[in-house]
C-alpha cells in the first residue's frame, strides 16, 4: 500500500480464494464451495481469478469440526514453520499445505483476498469478521457490502485483541475476511442461511471487480463490534457446566447487555446476572463449538472506524 495525497493505493486484487469446510460440519460454505468447484460461473468476475477451495476435506468427510485439532487456530508461525513429518496433527499438515498454496502468510506472494465461509449455531445473522482495524481495503469492502444489502443488516465483528485473536485459515491472505452466518445447526443446511451467505459473497466479488476496474472509493466510516472479553459458563470443580444461557440472553446476539441483566440460568432456576462495567454487545451466544473452548459467548463494544479513500495502484 502506498499513499498519494489522501488516497491509499493497493495492488489489484487479482488472486482471490473462497474457503469452505475450514470446519467440516458448517454446511453452507461447504455446499457453496462444492457447487462452485463444479461450476464457477457465479463467482467469476472480470480481471479476478477466484479459487473455491475445501480447506479441511477429512473433517468434511466425517462431518465434524476437525479431526485432530481446530484448523482455524492452526496458522501460527510455530505450526507453519514446524518440520513436516507424519507425527504432526492432520490439521497442522493441512495448514502447511494451505500456506504453500495461498501464502506464504505475510509475504508479497500471498493471495490478495481470502473469504472463509463459516456457520454458527448462534443467532448472529450474516456477520463479517475483520481481523485488523487498519485494513482499509477490507473496511471499504465491508462498507460496500453493508450498503448493498441494506435494509438487511450485516454486522462487522473486529477480532483484533491482544489475547483473544487466533490464527485463522484466511490469515494467510493479505486481506482476510470471515463470513459467519447463523443460526444453523452443525451438519444442517438451512435455505435462508445458505442464501444470505451467497448474497454477501456476490456483493464482495462485485466490490473487487469495481476496485480492479479502477473505481476510487471515497473515505467512509464503518460501525464495528470489537471483541472485548470471553465469558464462560459457570462450572463445577470437575469442569462440568452448572448453568445455561439465560432465556433473556439466548438468541439476542448484538443486542445490548447491561450490568444487572440476566446472563445464565442455573439448573435450579436461579439467575446469574452480568456484572461487568458498562454496556456490552454479546455475540456467539451459545455457539455449539465453543463449549470445549470454555466460552458461552463473547462480549464486544461498539466502535466506528474510519476508512480512508482507496483506489487501484
Ligand atoms: C463457530 C466458528 O467456528 N467460528 C469461527 C469464527 C472465525 O472464523 O473467526 C471460529 O471460531 O473459528
Ligand atoms: Zn467455523
Q: What pTM was estimated for this model as a whole?
A: 0.96
- 129 CB near ligand 1 (under 6 Å): yes
Say whether 255 is catalytic: no
Q: How far is CA 36 from CA 20, 22, 45, 187, in A?
A: 11, 16, 13, 20
Degrees, nearest 5: CA angle 169-287-16: 25
Sign of the alpha-carbon torsion through 298, 264, 153, 118? positive
Q: Whose CA is nearest to atom 1 of ligand 1?
A: 120
In the block, cell 483484533 appears at 160
Cβ of residue 25 lying under 6 Å from some atom of ligand 1: no
CA-closest candidate to residue 212, choices 16, 7, 37, 19: 16
Model pLDDT for residues 9-40, shown as the tens digit of each residue: 988 999 999 999 999 999 999 999 999 999 99
Alpha-carbon distance of 182 to 93, in angstroms, equals 29
The torsion angles phi and psi of 229, rounded to 5 degrees, stand at -155, 160
Q: Is 258 annotated as a binding residue?
A: no
Q: How far is CA 210 from the centre of its chain?
A: 23
- C-alpha–C-alpha distance, residues 186 and 26, integer Å: 6
Give the ligand 1 atom nearest the CA of 289. Answer: 1
Q: What is the pLDDT of residue 141?
A: 98
**DSSP for 244-264?**
EE-TTTTT-TTS-B-TTSEEE
**Interval 163-198: pLDDT, tens:** 998 999 999 999 999 999 999 999 999 999 999 999
- Provide the 10 A C-beta neighbour count for residue 81: 10
* Residue nearest (by alpha carbon) to ligand 1 atom 7: 178
Taking each continuous run of H as one helix and of E as one strand, the counts in the chain are 6, 14
Cis peptide before 106 (omega within 30 of 0): no
ipTM over 0.90: yes
Along the 313 residues of the chain, how does pLDDT read in single tens digits? 555 568 999 889 999 999 999 999 999 999 999 999 999 999 999 999 999 999 999 999 999 999 999 999 999 999 999 998 889 999 999 999 999 999 999 999 999 999 999 999 999 999 999 999 999 999 999 999 999 999 999 999 999 999 998 999 999 999 999 999 999 999 999 999 999 999 999 999 999 999 999 999 999 999 999 999 999 999 999 999 999 999 999 999 999 999 999 999 999 999 999 999 999 999 999 999 999 999 999 999 999 999 999 999 9
Amino acid at each position: 500500500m502506498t499513499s498519494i495525497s489522501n488516497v491509499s493505493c493497493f495492488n489489484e486484487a487479482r488472486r482471490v480464494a473462497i474457503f469452505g469446510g475450514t470446519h467440516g460440519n458448517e454446511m453452507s460454505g461447504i455446499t457453496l464451495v462444492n457447487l462452485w468447484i463444479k461450476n464457477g460461473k457465479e463467482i467469476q468476475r472480470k480481471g479476478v481469478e477466484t479459487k473455491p477451495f475445501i480447506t479441511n476435506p477429512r473433517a468434511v468427510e466425517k462431518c465434524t469440526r476437525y479431526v485432530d485439532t481446530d484448523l482455524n487456530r492452526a496458522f501460527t508461525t510455530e505450526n507453519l514453520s514446524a518440520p513436516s513429518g507424519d507425527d504432526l496433527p492432520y490439521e497442522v499438515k493441512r495448514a502447511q499445505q494451505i500456506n504453500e498454496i495461498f501464502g506464504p502468510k505475510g509475504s508479497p506472494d500471498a493471495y490478495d483476498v481470502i473469504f472463509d465461509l463459516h456457520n454458527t449455531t448462534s443467532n448472529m445473522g450474516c456477520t463479517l469478521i475483520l481481523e485488523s482495524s487498519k485494513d482499509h481495503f477490507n473496511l471499504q469492502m465491508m462498507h460496500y457490502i453493508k450498503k448493498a444489502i441494506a435494509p438487511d443488516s450485516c454486522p462487522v465483528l473486529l477480532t483484533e485483541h491482544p489475547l483473544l485473536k487466533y490464527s485463522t485459515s484466511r490469515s494467510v491472505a493479505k486481506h482476510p475476511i470471515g463470513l459467519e452466518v447463523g443460526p444453523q445447526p452443525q451438519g444442517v443446511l438451512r435455505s435462508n442461511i445458505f442464501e444470505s451467505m451467497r448474497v454477501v459473497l456476490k456483493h464482495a466479488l462485485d466490490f473487487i471487480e469495481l476496485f480492479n476496474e479502477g473505481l476510487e472509493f471515497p473515505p467512509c466510516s464503518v460501525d464495528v463490534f470489537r471483541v472485548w472479553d470471553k465469558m464462560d459458563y459457570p462450572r463445577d470443580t470437575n469442569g462440568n457446566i452448572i448453568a445455561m444461557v439465560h432465556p433473556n440472553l439466548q438468541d439476542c446476539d448484538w443486542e445490548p447487555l447491561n450490568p444487572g441483566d440476566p446472563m445464565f440460568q442455573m439448573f435450579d432456576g436461579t439467575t446469574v446476572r452480568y456484572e461487568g462495567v458498562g454496556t456490552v454487545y454479546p455475540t456467539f451466544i451459545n455457539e455449539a463449538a465453543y463449549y470445549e473452548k470454555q466460552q458461552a459467548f463473547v462480549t464486544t463494544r461498539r466502535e466506528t472506524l474510519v476508512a480512508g479513500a482507496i483506489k487501484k495502484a
